[in-house]
């Protein structure tokens, strides 16, 4: 079946965007892995599928699939690209969108300068809801990785994140330690792993080894989770510029129970067609 797609990215975290409203699209983990493959497919970190909402209050539903074929709960960079995509495909004329995801509802605001602001909802901090095996909720947790104990934060933005503080992201052991923590047995659904360098109370640098993908050039939910973990440790204030390898996101969070807001760009690279 021949389908139209858009190739997009949020700060270099790249996506194949599929309109499942005006097109009949049936995906399987194998098809997703093929689409995401940078040699035999289009190549992307995630495949994002736009569908009609189940919730009558929502404008759209959007589903997120990692390059390994697994469906996941949330994608911050993808949410911004989604907002631009549905406008470009003339699926809506609205600039304020309510979107249903597996993690719940997201509120998206398209701004004039191609920036998109997303209300990502309140972070989830209870270990069993992250999910993360721990006796009780804490700002940080010891995590034994092959006999070496690391201090991590554990936060869910609908999807699970572990956050480690490092002195210098450029020399952080992302490739060596990322996979070990991603598949650590205390994270029963695996986990995204953020390596965070605090520069000041309103600026930090971050690299993320993403669950189901590997290191990406940016991770929106990762930036939100890292800021939340740093805020809980009183290392930053309520608004922080998070600099990732692909560019900078502005994250705002005023404390537990409050929503996290993420603002950043969304870029369309090209439109194409492919036989699925």
List the catalytic residues: 75, 219
Q: Does 14 bind ligand API (CB under 6 A)?
A: no
Q: Which of 7, 14, 42, 46 binds ligand API (CB under 6 A)?
A: 46
Binding residues for ligand API, rule CB under 6 A, total 20
Our finding on whether 261 is near ligand API (CB under 6 A) is no
Residue selected from 32, 48, 75, 106 as contacting ligand API according to rule CB under 6 A: 75
Six token digits for residue 185: 């047995």
Residue 156 contacts ligand API per CB under 6 A: no
Q: How many Å apart are CA 228 and CA 231, to the nearest integer?
A: 5
Residue 192 assigned as binding residue:
yes
Q: Is 159 in the site for ligand API (CB under 6 A)?
A: yes
For residues 242 and 96, the answer to whether their CB atoms sit within 8 Å is no
Show the CA angle centred on residue 85, arms to residues 55 and 260, nearest 5°. Answer: 60
Residue 248 interacts with ligand API (CB under 6 A)?
Answer: no
Q: Is 74 annotated as a binding residue?
A: no
Cβ proximity to ligand API: between 147 and 195 the closer is 195
The residue whose two tokens read 């949330």 is 74
Q: Is 213 in the site for ligand API (CB under 6 A)?
A: yes
Q: Are 204 and 251 in contact (CB under 8 A)?
A: no
> Using CB under 6 A as the criterion, which residues of the chain lie in contact with ligand API when the complex forms?
13, 45-46, 64, 66, 72, 75-78, 159, 192, 210-213, 219-222
Binding-site residues for substrate: 13, 46, 66, 76-77, 159, 192, 210-211, 220-221
């Amino acid at each position: 079946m021949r389908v139209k797609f858009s190739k997009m990215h949020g700060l270099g975290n790249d996506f194949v965007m599929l309109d499942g409203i005006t097109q009949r699209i049936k995906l399987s983990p194998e098809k997703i892995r093929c689409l995401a493959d940078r040699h035999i497919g289009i190549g992307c970190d995630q495949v994002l599928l736009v569908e009609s909402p189940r919730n009558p209050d929502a404008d759209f539903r959007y589903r997120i699939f990692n390059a390994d074929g697994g469906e996941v709960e949330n994608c911050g960079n993808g949410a911004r690209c989604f907002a631009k995509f549905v406008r470009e495909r003339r699926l809506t004329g609205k600039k304020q969108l309510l979107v249903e995801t597996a993690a719940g509802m997201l509120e998206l605001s398209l701004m004039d300068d191609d920036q998109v602001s997303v209300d990502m909802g309140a972070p989830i901090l209870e270990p069993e809801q992250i999910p993360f095996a721990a006796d009780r909720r804490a700002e940080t947790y010891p995590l034994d990785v092959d006999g070496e104990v690391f201090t991590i934060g554990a936060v869910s933005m609908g999807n699970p994140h572990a956050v480690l503080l490092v002195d210098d992201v450029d020399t952080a052991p992302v490739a060596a330690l990322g996979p070990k923590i991603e598949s650590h047995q205390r994270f029963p659904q695996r986990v995204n792993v953020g390596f965070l360098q605090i520069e000041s109370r309103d600026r930090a640098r971050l690299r993320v080894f993403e669950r189901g993908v590997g290191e990406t050039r940016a991770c929106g939910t990762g930036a939100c989770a890292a800021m939340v973990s740093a805020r809980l440790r009183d290392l930053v204030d309520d608004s922080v510029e998070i600099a990732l390898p692909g560019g900078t996101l502005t994250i705002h969070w005023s404390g537990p129970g409050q929503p996290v807001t993420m603002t950043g760009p969304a870029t369309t690279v090209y439109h194409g067609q492919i036989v699925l």
